[in-house]
Amino acid sequence: MRTSVAGMGNALMDILVKIDSDDILNRLELPKGSMTLIDKEKSFQILELVRSMPKSYTPGGSAANTIRGIAALKNPATFIGSVGNDELGKMFRESIAEENVDPVLLTGSQPTGYAIGFITPDSERTFATYLGAATEISPDKLKEEMFAGHKVFHIEGYLIIDHPLILKALELAKKAGLEVSYDMASYNVVKDNREFIRKILAEYVDIVFANEEEARAFSGKDPEKAAEDLGRYCKIAVVKTGASGSLIRMEKENYMVKAIEAKSVDTTGAGDLYAAGFLHGYLRGMLPEQCGKIGSLMGGKVIETIGTKMSTSTWDEIFRQIRQISED
């Protein structure tokens, strides 16, 4: 059985900053809980604003987080992206390679992209993202060999704004015999690209992940009805409902999976790591509920730390619980 996953997304370094209130978000006109694209000038203004605040750096980008999680679960994993010829790009490349991800990284002419993540006391995160070199993946740079030999191709919703790139990637993935996993990633991206998303769901996507807001932005319905709508297009539809858990729709059946108990300090990467856990179970032929339980486990554990890098002891506990879930 092929257990390898290739992912494509924005190669970003996450710069995470804890703030005491929503005041900075309001001042910068950043919708709380969203990802807002910013230009280089505004990114410099924000960096200057947070210059004296404690910060942490970690490889980021939705698909990269998922692929790193998949690799940590001992699955062969590849990440396709673009970075700049600079220190942040070197940091991104070396960091994911150390996490056993095969980096297929193009070198762009712009600086490496970064996402400035504001973490509020309720552990919600709001990103202001300068894409930089991440945008320099173009359809002509995608090659068939990037997709060969994998089982699943995973894409992040933030790339959806580049319709030609997404269509070329999906065509190559399907030509190589891969199943396609798509994470909707942000409700504002879904709202602005609804018809294109409907097209790719119908023609290419096998597994779709959405949170409650993203599902509502797509269908205008509550999670259960939204999962039914998404399930009409895809083999598997997953709607994550935060502390309530997740709803999985497969073959006209609904499966409800509870969230694990967790003390949230930063929700960065929760959905991305859920997808990693779910796909880990899926690659091994587990039942929908088992896949969802592993997803919830991964998503629950990552919110107990700042950023997406978890400790060795946390991973030991994750593997112990996965063994238990696989035996149920």
Element (H, E) at 142: none
2-14 tens-digit pLDDT: 559 999 999 999 8
**Confidence at residue 243, expressed as pLDDT on a 0 to 100 scale:** 84
pTM: 0.90
240-262 tens-digit pLDDT: 998 889 999 998 899 999 988 88
**Confidence at residue 112, expressed as pLDDT on a 0 to 100 scale:** 95
**Is the domain covering 5-9+61-109+138-327 a CATH 3.40.1190.20 domain?**
yes
**Confidence at residue 3, expressed as pLDDT on a 0 to 100 scale:** 59
C-alpha 78, offset from chain centre: 14
- Quickly tell me which residue has 């006109």 as its tokens: 29
**Confidence at residue 308, expressed as pLDDT on a 0 to 100 scale:** 83
9-30 tens-digit pLDDT: 999 998 989 999 999 999 998 9
Residue-wise over 106-120: b if at least 16 C-beta within 10 A, else e? bebebbbbbbbbbbb
User: CA 263, 264, 270, 271: dihedral to nearest 10 degrees?
Assistant: 100
Count CB-CB contacts under 10 A for residue 289. 15
Low-confidence ranges of the chain (pLDDT < 70): 1-3
